[in-house]
């Protein structure tokens, strides 16, 4: 069955430091992959998505993610974290069947120290 | 541009009371619509999916039901709430017929059942 794993439940970084959030997927075909961000008490905002083509995708708020088929990974990165990036981050994959279904990872909660 | 609304934003209900949460989408036609629940400390669980008026698919058996009386309106209901129904309820939409099925989320409703 298709699945998404986010190995890190909590991550703490200092403001200005670089960030990498890990995401591994299990899917037999070419995956369609997403990263969403959720601020406390808010809905989910789409950061970026990968469907095909260039394996390094750029998103909003200075985030990027790299698709690595050999590692079944789609890690999210940001070169310099801002305090406003503190939130929960979800990786997701679309599975295709009777209807297209979005499978989410459990999420990674990011804390940013000043 | 497309927008998605949910109301109420917050709701506190006693056990055994009925529930009605509403979601509406503006700026698009014939969307796919989704209801998710996010329980404390857990990821997102897809509850219901709709491809059109009156067409509802349920992902998991539960105390909840969904209806789609109009093209851009999606309602989540319960006749008698349980404590376990507490959580954060998110509505989402996507373009019908899209091969990539990017989903866009509303602001959510925080439901507390006491």
A31 interface with B at CB cutoff 8 Å: no
CA triple A68-A73-A78, angle to 5 deg? 90
B106 touches chain A (CB under 8 A): yes
pLDDT score, position A68: 95
Model pLDDT, residue A82: 96
Strand B19-26 relative to strand B3-7, pairing: antiparallel
**A1 has pLDDT over 80:** no
Contacts of A97 (CB under 8 A, 6+ apart): none
Q: How far apart are CA A52 and CA A49, in angstroms?
A: 10
**Residues A40 and A108 sit within 8 Å (Cβ to Cβ):** no
Closest B-chain CA to A89:
B43
**pLDDT in the model for residue A69:** 92
DSSP A33-81: EEEEEE-TTS-EEEEEEE-SS-SEEE-GGG-EEEEEGGGTEEEEEESS-
Out of B49, B94, B108, closest to residue A43 by CB: B108
Which tokens belong to A105? Answer: 């990872």
| Chain B nearest-CA residue for A9 | B41
| Cβ proximity of A36 and A42 under 8 Å | no
**A10 inside 8 A of chain B by CB:** no
- DSSP state, residue A85: G
- Whether the per-residue pLDDT at A20 is higher than 90: the answer is yes
| Band of pLDDT at residue A27, cut at 50, 70 and 90 | confident
What percent of chain A is predicted at pLDDT more than 70? 97
Q: Does B14 touch chain A (CB under 8 A)?
A: no
Tell me the per-residue pLDDT of A85-98, one tens digit each, with 9 for 90 and over. 999 999 999 877 65
**Measured between alpha carbons, how far is residue B37 from residues B34, B43, B60, B62, B90 in Å?**
10, 8, 11, 12, 6
CA dist A61 and A64 (Å) reads 9
Least confident of A35-39, A40-44, B107-111: A40-44
pLDDT one digit per residue (tens) for chain B, 114 residues: 889 999 999 999 999 999 999 999 999 999 999 999 998 767 888 999 999 999 999 887 678 999 999 999 999 999 999 999 999 999 999 988 776 678 999 999 999 999
Which of B7, B102, B108 is the best mutation test for A, with the most CBs of A within 10 A? B102
Q: Is B83 helix (H, G, I), strand (E, B) or coil?
A: helix
Q: What is the pLDDT of residues A44-92, one digit of tens each?
A: 999 999 988 889 999 999 999 999 999 999 999 999 999 999 999 999 9
The helix/strand/coil state of A92 is strand
pLDDT at B83 (0 to 100): 94
- pLDDT (0 to 100) of residue A31: 86
Is the Cβ of B55 closer than 8 Å to some Cβ of chain A? no
Q: Which tokens go with B76?
A: 């989540």
Within 8 A of A36 by CB-CB distance, chain B residues are 105
> How many angstroms away from the CA of B63 is the closest CA of chain A?
22
């Amino acid at each position: 069955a298709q699945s998404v794993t986010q190995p890190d439940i909590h991550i703490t970084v200092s403001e200005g430091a670089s960030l990498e959030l890990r995401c591994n997927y299990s899917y037999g075909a070419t995956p369609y992959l997403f990263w969403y961000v959720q601020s406390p008490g808010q809905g989910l905002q789409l950061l970026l998505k990968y469907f095909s083509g260039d394996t390094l995708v750029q998103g909003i708020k200075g985030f990027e993610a790299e698709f690595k088929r050999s590692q079944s990974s789609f890690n999210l990165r940001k070169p310099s974290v801002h305090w406003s990036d503190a939130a929960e981050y979800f990786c997701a994959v679309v599975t295709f069947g009777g209807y297209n279904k979005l499978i989410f990872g459990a999420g990674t909660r990011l804390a940013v120290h000043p | 541009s497309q927008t998605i609304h949910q109301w109420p934003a917050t709701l506190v209900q006693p056990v055994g009371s009925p529930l009605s949460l509403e979601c509406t989408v503006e700026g698009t036609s014939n969307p796919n619509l989704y209801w998710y629940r996010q329980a404390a400390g857990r990821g997102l669980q897809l509850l219901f999916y709709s491809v059109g008026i009156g067409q509802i698919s349920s992902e998991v058996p539960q105390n909840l039901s969904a209806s789609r009386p109009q093209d851009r309106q999606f309602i989540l209901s319960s006749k008698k709430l349980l404590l376990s129904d507490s959580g954060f309820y998110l509505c989402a939409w996507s373009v019908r017929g899209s091969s990539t099925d990017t989903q866009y989320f509303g602001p959510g409703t925080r439901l507390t059942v006491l």
